[in-house]
Amino acid sequence: MSWDNITCKGHFLALADYYLAWGPVMKNEFIEKYQIPENKIYLCGVPHFDIHTETKKQAVRNDLLRALNIDPNKPWIVFGMSSPRFAPREIDIVEYLAKKIIENAFGETMQLAIRPHPQNVKGWMADPEWIRRLESLKNHRILLFYPEMSESSLLWSMDQTDFQKLSTVLSACVVCINSCSTLSMDALMAGKGNIAPMFDGDASYNYWHSARRLLDYTHIKKFVALGGTQVVSDFASLDSEILNFIRIPNYKLTERNHSIQQEFYFNGPSSTQTCLSAIGAIALLNKNESNEL
């Protein structure tokens, strides 16, 4: 399950015998919300984040970057967008940032790689007007990086080949900008910081329609408290944090590493291997219990 399932997706109708948790945060939620015994919970990390661990060990895939029209010899910022449902004026922030890039506010060679959220592209939350506005921004320094969707009833399900492209783009970027969707965690695991633009551009939306409300989602509130992302509430603070990531080596690295340990801790060469070991241990435990009956 994903990081928001326990606190934001309703009450579980049935409980399992054992649980594989992403990390201490999820483990504590199982205990707090459902009184799951601690010995029934295994900390395993996130298997689909293993690709970031592997990507960091390898040389940068310049071929993938060039295929996306990103110049691997020049720096770039990634803007991973949310759905209009959650960040209704985020398109304004993207347009603002694209203008700043062209004005050389972050250097004469800085690029902006914009990745629409899967729900911008597919499903009932998609907004064709956003896509039109994004397409109008494209030039040699403003690049669109569309998610490659799999055939699935899940409207945010990505094709496996897309994961490698995403990991490559994140692992070599200056910083990721994302309003605390799972992509912000991808950025951390790829070794990069995240800036969360939790505001509505120049508009003044009431709380229930504003991106500000995302800060009160339980899973996001915990993530922010751990230091996993830098929250900005206006254009000036967005500019300031981008410049911090450009100018300060390893900016907020201690906080980022702390967030990783709390959100998706695992003990082993990979999360996938840790999960398999946990499943094996559970199977052996149940076999021994059956033999004793």
Q: 263 pLDDT exceeds 80?
A: yes
pLDDT digits (tens, 9 = 90+) for 150-192: 555 555 556 678 899 999 999 999 999 999 999 999 999 999 9
Q: What is the pTM of this model?
A: 0.91
Please give the Cα distance from 40 to 42 (Å, whole number). 7
| The token pair that represents 251 in the structure block | 């900016």
Supply the CATH classification number for the domain 49-263.
Answer: 3.40.50.2000
pLDDT digits (tens, 9 = 90+) for 107-122: 999 999 999 988 776 6
Please give the Cα distance from 97 to 66 (Å, whole number). 22
Please give the Cα distance from 29 to 151 (Å, whole number). 32
Strands 111-115 and 76-80: parallel
Confidence of residue 3 (pLDDT cuts 50, 70, 90): confident
Please give the Cα distance from 9 to 5 (Å, whole number). 5
Q: 207 pLDDT exceeds 80?
A: yes
Confidence of residue 291 (pLDDT cuts 50, 70, 90): low
> Average pLDDT for residues 223-233, to the nearest whole number?
96
**What pLDDT, on the 0 to 100 scale, is given for residue 292?**
62
> In sequence order, which residues have a C-beta less than 8 Å from that of residue 107 and are 6 or more positions away?
75, 246
Domain ranges of the chain: 5-46+268-292, 49-263
